[in-house]
Chain A
Amino acid sequence: MSGLFQVPWSDYQSDLLDALGRTVSYTVVSFVGAVLLGLAVALLRLSKAWPLRALAAVYTEVFKNVPLLAIIFLAYFGLASAGLRLDVFTAGCLSLVVFYAAYLSEIFRSAISGVHAGQTEAGEALGLGRAGIFGHVVLPQAVRQALPGTNTMLVDLLKSTSLLVTVSAAELMSEGRLITSATFRALEVYLVISAIYFALCYPLSQLLLLLERKVRAGVPLSPYRRRRVRAARELLAGDLRGERDIERKEAAV
C-alpha cells in the first residue's frame, strides 16, 4: 500500500486545475444548451401540428438510440471529413447537447403534459393569456415535476464529459491519461481522477436533492417571489398571529 502513491502530484496541480475547469465548462455549457434544446423539442412534441411532432419524435428516438461516443466521433471526426471542422470544445459540447437534449425532452414533455388540464383552464378563466399561462402556471409546475429527472441528467452529463477523452478534450480524464503516460501509474492516477469526479458529483447531487425538497415544499427561490411573500407576511401579520395563538391554545388543552 505504501507504494501506491508515488506520482509527484504537486507537479500536476495546475494542469489538473485547468482540466477540472474544462470539465466544469463542458458540463455547464452543454447542460444549458441541452435544457434549451430539450425544452424546444418537448414543445414541438406537444405541438398541434403533426409534422412538428413527427420531427421532434424522430430527433428524440435517433439520439436516444445512438451511443454518445458515436455522436462525439461524428461531431469531431465525421463533420471534419465533410468539410465542417469544429474545434474540440465546440464538438464536445455539441455532442453532449444533442445527446442529453433527447433525454431531457422526454422528461420535459412528460412533466408539461402531466400538469392538470384544470390548471390551464384556471389560467384561461383568469385571463392570463397563452404566454402568461405557460410562464406562470404550466412551466413552474412542470419544473417541479421535471426536477428529479433533470438533476439526474446533470450529474450523468458531468460524468459523461469523461468520454471526451477520446478526442483529447483536455478535461479531467484526458489529463489523467497524460499523467498516466508520463508516470505509468495507472491505478494511482485513475483512483485520484475518480475521486475528483466523486468530489464533484456527490455534493452536486446532494445539493440538487436539497433544491428538489425546497421546491417541493414551495419555498420561494427567486428574489422576486421572496420579496412578494415577505410583503404578504407583513400585511398578514395580524391574521397569522391570531392563527398561531389558536394553535397554541389548542396544544395547551
Chain B
Amino acid sequence: MTEPVTTAKRPGPAPTEAVVRIEGLSKSFDGRLVLDDVHLEVGRGRIVSVIGQSGGGKTTLMRCVNLLERPDRGTVEVAGDVVHSGGRTVCRDLPRLRRTVGMVFQRFNLFPHLTAVENVVLAQRKAGVPEQEALERAVTLLRRVGVAHRGLAQPDQLSGGEQQRVAIARALALKPEVLLFDEPTSSLDPEATREVLGVMRELAADGMTMLLVTHELPFAREVADHVVFVDGGRVVEEGDPRDVLDNPARARTREFLASYGSAS
C-alpha cells in the first residue's frame, strides 16, 4: 500500500490551530470500504479542498466531520474536542457540534415550506437566539450573499444559484467555526456557479475556515490553501494546490487531472 505524498515544495503559511482534525478514519458501507485510514487537518482560517472522482469517498469524509456519518475507526476532532473515537461517538451534545460546523449541500436542501429569510432564522431560534436578533442576522446574511431582495420568496421560486446562496446564509447564521461545502456548484448552471463561487470567494477573503469538496479545480487552485486528492477511499496526494494540481507527484493524480482536463 502506498503512503500519501505530501507535496510541499514551497514553504506554506505558518501552522495554525486545527479546527478539524481527522486521524486514521475508516468507514465501510455494507462491507465496502469507502474510507481507509484517512488523515486530514483544517487549520483555523484555512481552506482545504478535497478533490477526486465521484464515489471516491470525498463526501463521506466530509459528512464524518459533523457526524452525519459515523466512522468505523479513527478519531474526529472539532474545535479542540474529540467528537468521535474508535467507532464511538464521544460528543454528548450533537446539536452543539453541528452548530459549530456549518454545512452546504450539493442539492441545497432548503426547507420548501419556509421563505428564504425563515430558512435562515429557524436554526438560530432553536439555538436560543432572540427573534428580532435572529431576523436581523438573517437579513444581514442574505444581503451579504446578495439575495436579500428575494428574502420573502419560497425556495421553489428561487433559481438554483439563489437557493444555494440562501443555503450558505443559513449555514453561516449560527456563526460556525468551519463551513463544509459538499460539491456546492454541481447542480448549477455556469452562471449560477459563478454567483456561488463569488460568495465563497468573499468568505475566503474574510478568513472563513472551509472544507470544500469540489469539481471546480480552477476555483480550488484559486482559493484553497491545501488540496487533498482522495481516490478509492485513501488520500493519494495532498499539498499546496499549485503543486498538486499543476505538478502532481503521483501517477494516479496525473491520471485524474488528465481525465478532468479532457472532460472539462
A: residues with CB less than 8 A from B are 116, 118-119, 121-122, 124-129, 132, 136-137, 140-141, 144, 218, 225, 228-229, 231-233, 235-236, 239-240, 242-243
Contacts and interface: CB of A to CB of B under 8 A. Distances in A.
Given A122-B109, A228-B118, A239 B151 contact: yes
Interface of B: 66, 68, 94-99, 101-103, 105, 107, 109-115, 117-118, 121-123, 126-127, 131-132, 135-136, 138-139, 142-143, 148-152, 154, 170-171, 174
Contact of A236 (B68, B94, B99, B117): B117
B66 A232 contact: no
A141 B112 CA distance: 8
Main secondary structure of the interface of B (DSSP, over half): helix
Contacts of A137: 111
A127 B98 contact: yes
A121 B68 contact: yes
B115 A229 contact: yes
Contacts of A118: 105, 107, 109
Which of A116, A126, A239 counts the most B-chain CB atoms under 10 A from its CB? Answer: A126
B113 A232 contact: no
Contacts of A231: 131-132, 135
A136 B112 CA distance: 11
Nearest to B136: A235
A128 B123 contact: yes
Nearest to A118: B109
A136 B122 contact: yes
Given A127-B123, A235-B139, A239-B148, A121 B105 contact: yes
Contacts of A235: 135-136, 139
A242 B149 contact: yes
Contacts of B118: 225, 228-229, 232
B125 to A, nearest CB: 9
Given A121-B105, A127-B95, A127-B127, A232 B111 contact: no
Contact of A141 (B113, B136, B170): B113
B123 A126 contact: yes
